[in-house]
Amino acid sequence: MSAYYDLLVSPFMDFEFMRRALVACFALSLGAGPIGVFLVLRRMSLMGDAIGHAVLPGVAIGYLLSGLSVWAMSLGGVVAGLVVALLAGATARTTGMKEDASLAGFYLASLALGVLIVSAAGSSVDLLHILFGSILAVDDEGLFLVVSVGTLSMLLMAAIFRPLALECFDPIFARAVGAGGGWAYAIFMGLVVLNLVAAFQALGTLMAVGLMMLPALAARFWSENLGTIIVTATIFAMVASLTGLLVSFHVELASGPSIVMTAAAIYIGSIILGTRSGLLARLLRRPHYHDPKEARR
């Protein structure tokens, strides 16, 4: 019993930074879970990655102006991310080019600008900190930021759920009934940026993409119901956070990558074991349904 306690509980009981890290990751999971699911459904799985890179110049400018201040760096990151997302969206809409193509164009420019600013300022250590973060450094302000963003994300996602789902599912119908999901989608893009920036201190912006996308991709293998998929993704993200933190504590590995690797393990496990379209489910043929009601899980 006490072996389990030492393994699973005492790291959090004994060390404040572990408690902070856990709370931060749980808060991130609450926002990142649902957002990741919609990114997957919108066939924009790589968008988080692009935005994660695009925030760099803003974070760098924030850092140059006020040093390692959470608020300045976050504000800069949010502004840079939103500018890139809006420019990409507007370009796609007005020129008829695909959204992922214009996003690629703008985020690459943004990333180069960010690297330019950081290198001109002369320190490369800080760049690593921004992109990969360190959970052990979550201070009060960082924790407050992450928890605020997590709360806001959950509330807003609940509010825009219906128009956003319709916009992703059947955009032509959405336009025909005048549901024009444009504003819902704009709010959603804002939340993507906000969540990735909020995560930069805890996980690093790039690792945060992992916590956003991998649980969502894994959850798709377990259900055919949007609500269930979102809850599953959120739980997966939390399990990955908890497990990853414990692994990083006991084995003394970097925390961000440990969390994302755990999420990746869940994803690979889901590919194999998933009940909906996993490999095992395909191999072990189960009897087909004889009444459509049986398929309702």
| Residue 100 binds to another protein (criterion: CB under 8 A) | no
Near another protein by CB under 8 A: residue from 119, 123, 148, 225:
225
Site for another protein in 12-41 (CB under 8 A): 41
- Whichever of 83 and 235 has its CB closer to another protein, that residue is 235
Rounded to a whole number of angstroms, the minimum distance from the CB of residue 7 to another protein is 36
Q: Is 123 exposed, middle or buried (0-12, 13-18, 19+ CB in 10 A)?
A: exposed
Near another protein by CB under 8 A: residue from 28, 160, 194, 240:
160
Rounded to a whole number of angstroms, the minimum distance from the CB of residue 44 to another protein is 13
Determine the length of the chain: 297
Site for another protein in 140-159 (CB under 8 A): 159
First-to-last alpha carbon distance for the chain, in angstroms, is 37
Number of neighbours of residue 182 by Cβ within 10 angstroms: 15
Q: Is 122 exposed, middle or buried (0-12, 13-18, 19+ CB in 10 A)?
A: exposed
Closest by CA position to 165, among listed 229, 223, 219:
229
Which residues are within 8 A (CB) of 99 and not within 5 positions of it... i.e. 6 or more apart?
44, 88, 89, 92
Which residues are within 8 A (CB) of 197 and not within 5 positions of it... i.e. 6 or more apart?
55, 59, 74, 77, 78, 81, 205
Question: CB of 7 within 8 A of CB of 219?
Answer: no
Rounded to a whole number of angstroms, the minimum distance from the CB of residue 229 to another protein is 6
Near another protein by CB under 8 A: residue from 109, 147, 154, 226:
226
- Whichever of 282 and 296 has its CB closer to another protein, that residue is 296
The pattern of x and - marking residues 56 through 95 that bind another protein according to CB under 8 A reads ----------------------------------------
- Whichever of 166 and 239 has its CB closer to another protein, that residue is 166
Near another protein by CB under 8 A: residue from 175, 253, 268, 279:
175
Near another protein by CB under 8 A: residue from 155, 177, 272, 280:
177
Site for another protein in 183-202 (CB under 8 A): 184
DSSP-assigned letter for residue 124: S
- Whichever of 1 and 172 has its CB closer to another protein, that residue is 172
Which residues are within 8 A (CB) of 124 and not within 5 positions of it... i.e. 6 or more apart?
118
| Residue 169 binds to another protein (criterion: CB under 8 A) | yes
Near another protein by CB under 8 A: residue from 3, 172, 251, 283:
172
Q: Is 181 exposed, middle or buried (0-12, 13-18, 19+ CB in 10 A)?
A: buried
- Whichever of 184 and 245 has its CB closer to another protein, that residue is 184
Q: Which residues bind another protein (CB under 8 A)?
A: 41, 159-160, 162-163, 165-166, 168-170, 172-173, 175-179, 184, 220, 223-226, 229, 291-293, 295-296
